[in-house]
Chain A
Amino acid sequence: MIDITDKNFDTDKIIQSVITPESGAVDVFIGTTRNHSNGKKVVKLEYEAYNPMALKKMEQIRKEAHERWDVHNVAIVHRIGEVAVGEASVVIAVSSSHRHEAFEACRYIIDRLKAVVPIWKREYFADGSVEWSKATHTEKIKE
């Protein structure tokens, strides 16, 4: 399952979607909205995506994970639009026969997603200011 959605997602459904009868492990990463950034209080986040390219890149990362590890299924789902503090913005689930592959692949997928998938975060602060996240602004995207 590769998806970008403006709705709060059903994490259990995403996890269930990767389990096969051969699976002995599922590793899940959930990114959630923090209530602070650079010392300022955050009230909500807003995500924007270049949808067709983001989906293509997520699919590419899924394939890379399959090439590198013996994993069964991979799900990558990202929220766009407003995401309240405490809500999930991204869910990644990876199934495999044994835990090692699922752990490794899951970490690889979230690191790659944060590096190359064209999605942007906008932070709304309690003091009324609004900023595009500068988290990765210091470095050019490397594929």
Chain B
Amino acid sequence: MNVTVYLFSIAKEMAGFEEKKLTLNDDATIDSVYEYLIQSNSRFMDWKSTLRFAVNHEYVENDCRLRNGDEVAVIPPVSGG
């Protein structure tokens, strides 16, 4: 399946890209995306306890199963206001 991953803030800086189309196995979860991020920069390992993910604009847990066409977002702790 194919998903599009969007990155923001510090996650975008660490990865070095802000958008990436990924081809994943059909049983892929958010953890599969996380593993890809760690491969792009091992510093992502330090962020496991604080990084969150969203699928199609809703927060999800890391075991969330992905579907073809999903929009995945990598969301570091927010700091609006």
B3 at the interface (CB under 8 A from A): no
Residue-wise, chain A 49-81 has the 8 Å CB interface mask toward B (1 for contact) of 110111010000000000000000000001000
Q: For residue B44, which residues in chain A have a CB less than 8 angstroms away from its CB?
A: none
Contact of A78 among B50, B77, B80 (CB under 8 A): B80
Q: Evaluate whether A50 and B8 lie within 8 angstroms (CB atoms) in the complex, with A56-B57, A120-B76 already known.
A: yes
Contact of B78 among A52, A90, A136 (CB under 8 A): A136
* Residue from B10, B58, B78 whose CB has the most chain A CB atoms within 10 Å: B78
CA distance A52 to B54 in the complex (A): 12
Are A114 and B81 within 8 A (Cβ)? yes
Are A141 and B77 within 8 A (Cβ)? yes
CA distance A31 to B79 in the complex (A): 12
Q: For residue A118, which residues in chain B have a CB less than 8 angstroms away from its CB?
A: 8, 54, 73, 75, 78, 80
Are A53 and B73 within 8 A (Cβ)? yes
Contact of A117 among B8, B10, B58, B80 (CB under 8 A): B80
**8 Å CB contacts to A: which residues of B62-81?**
73, 75-81
Q: For residue A138, which residues in chain B have a CB less than 8 angstroms away from its CB?
A: 50, 77
CA distance A114 to B77 in the complex (A): 10
Are A119 and B78 within 8 A (Cβ)? yes
| 22 contacts across the A-B interface (CB closer than 8 A) | A31-B81, A49-B80, A50-B8, A50-B54, A50-B73, A50-B75, A52-B57, A53-B57, A56-B58, A89-B81, A113-B81, A114-B78, A116-B78, A117-B78, A118-B75, A118-B78, A120-B8, A120-B78, A132-B10, A136-B77, A136-B79, A137-B77
CA distance A70 to B77 in the complex (A): 31
CA distance A89 to B80 in the complex (A): 8
Q: For residue A47, which residues in chain B have a CB less than 8 angstroms away from its CB?
A: 80
Residue-wise, chain B 13-57 has the 8 Å CB interface mask toward A (1 for contact) of 100000000000000000000000000000000000111101001
